Amino acid sequence: MRVLLLGGTGIVGRRVAAELTRNKEITDLILGGRNYEKLHRSTSLLGDKARAALLELEDDVVLSAACVQADVVVNCCGPAHLTELPAAGAAIEAGVAYVSLGDDYAAAGGVANLSERAHATGSTAVVGCGLSPGITTLLAAFARDELDDITEIEISMAHSYRDLPSPAHTAHLLHMLGAPGASISDHELTVDTAGGSPHLAYFPEPVGWVETVGCGHAEIHNLKSLGLQSMSVRLGLTERGAMDALRALSRTPLTSTSVAQRTLNAALVLPPRGPRWSAARVDVVGHRGGRTATVSLGVVDHLVNMAASSMSLAALELGRRRHSTGVKSPAEAFDSRDFLARLGGRGTRVARLEPVPL
């Protein structure tokens, strides 16, 4: 299996590259990027399977030429609102499989519009195979299977900024709280300003209680076809001071990533400071046996572990060419129970959070 890995010198990309090169199915790993020194350093550590390819996502010709050399394109580049569409479009045009971290609402919608083209070229594209979307989408599908029908989904994330303090992550957090946030209310898709309606959510230990706010994320595209009465996606940082700073910065349109990163790092010293772990929880409300029932599931790990493990598993699955063509959500492309079980084998385990009737 031949893999083109975009963003393979970043924090998540390096971990994905290491996992893929250890797999016997991978015969060729092409690390694509714009910095030759970083690419060469990474490939020299990965062994004979890995080689470097200088490319820019803005250069359609070079990117397309790299895509046709692969069976699957793995996109770990960020931020997604800038990198998703060019990478996905090139992979689809090349007729190869595509998988990404893909956590931006607008970009995911743009890729979804390429589904007919993916059918025509024989490509299978799965946008969003990190923690969120990805693991969160699979948790929702897992919970759905335990109910007769579902009416509501709430997805909550708690990131530790110290867990992944990269420029791309900072840029994404800024964009996610500064861009419009989509939700479903009374069966209607609504788009409103992100960062509002704060409330506490409980996550598996050691994360615990974290204040979360509404945000725009790609799960809405993955799950809106379920005919839900309501759905929302929420985000909080385990470091309260950094979260307050992030919300303020997201309302300042001229804030640069470097300024935001320095501000957030300075705010990390303010109490209360949560643990250096990230988590997600998914609450699915529906009916079982004629009664209202809620299934609540959670996951906690370091963000890079959850993202890299999920991306690696998805890349291997798609590279085997066992899937129908088109643009799909993780829940459409993979069996949720099997995928989550294999994640558990890599150390990322799912917890059941039992609601208490009051």
Separation of alpha carbons 242 and 267, rounded Å? 5
Separation of alpha carbons 139 and 155, rounded Å? 10
Res 71: pLDDT? 96
Separation of alpha carbons 162 and 158, rounded Å? 12
DSSP state of 95: T
Res 252: pLDDT? 82
> Which range among 157-171, 173-187, 237-251, 282-296 shows the weakest confidence by mean pLDDT?
173-187
Measured CA distances, 300 to 143, 157, 206, 347 (Å): 17, 10, 8, 10
Q: Which pLDDT band, with edges at 50, 70 and 90, does 358 fall under? A: low
Mean pLDDT for 230-241 is 93
Instruction: Tell me the per-residue pLDDT of 301-336, one tens digit each, with 9 for 90 and over.
Output: 999 999 999 999 999 999 987 778 999 999 999 999
Res 322: pLDDT? 72
Q: Which pLDDT band, with edges at 50, 70 and 90, does 357 fall under? A: low
Residue 356 in this model has a pLDDT that exceeds 70: no
Q: Is 190 exposed, middle or buried (0-12, 13-18, 19+ CB in 10 A)?
A: exposed
Question: Where is pLDDT greater, at 170 or 297?
Answer: 297
Q: Is 286 exposed, middle or buried (0-12, 13-18, 19+ CB in 10 A)?
A: buried
Separation of alpha carbons 281 and 299, rounded Å? 6
Res 46: pLDDT? 93
Instruction: Tell me the per-residue pLDDT of 163-208, one tens digit each, with 9 for 90 and over.
Output: 887 888 888 888 888 877 788 888 888 887 788 889 999 999 999 9
Backbone angles phi and psi of 229, in degrees to 5: -75, -40
Which tokens sit at 29?
């790993």
> Which range among 51-65, 164-178, 237-251 shows the weakest confidence by mean pLDDT?
164-178
Res 344: pLDDT? 92
Contacts of 247 (CB under 8 A, 6+ apart): 177, 195, 213
Instruction: Tell me the per-residue pLDDT of 61-97, one tens digit each, with 9 for 90 and over.
Output: 999 999 999 999 999 998 888 899 999 999 999 999 9
Yes or no: say if 347 and 308 are a contact pair by the CB < 8 Å rule: no
Alpha-helical (H) ranges within the chain are: 11-21, 36-46, 60-67, 80-94, 105-112, 115-121, 135-144, 167-178, 219-223, 240-250, 257-267, 303-319, 330-333, 336-345
% the chain with pLDDT above 90: 63
Res 216: pLDDT? 77
Task: Decide the pairing of beta strands 278-288 and 124-127.
Answer: unpaired
Separation of alpha carbons 310 and 10, rounded Å? 16
Handedness of CA 266, 299, 310, 20 (dihedral sign): positive
State the chain's mean pLDDT as an integer. Answer: 90
Mean pLDDT for 333-348 is 93
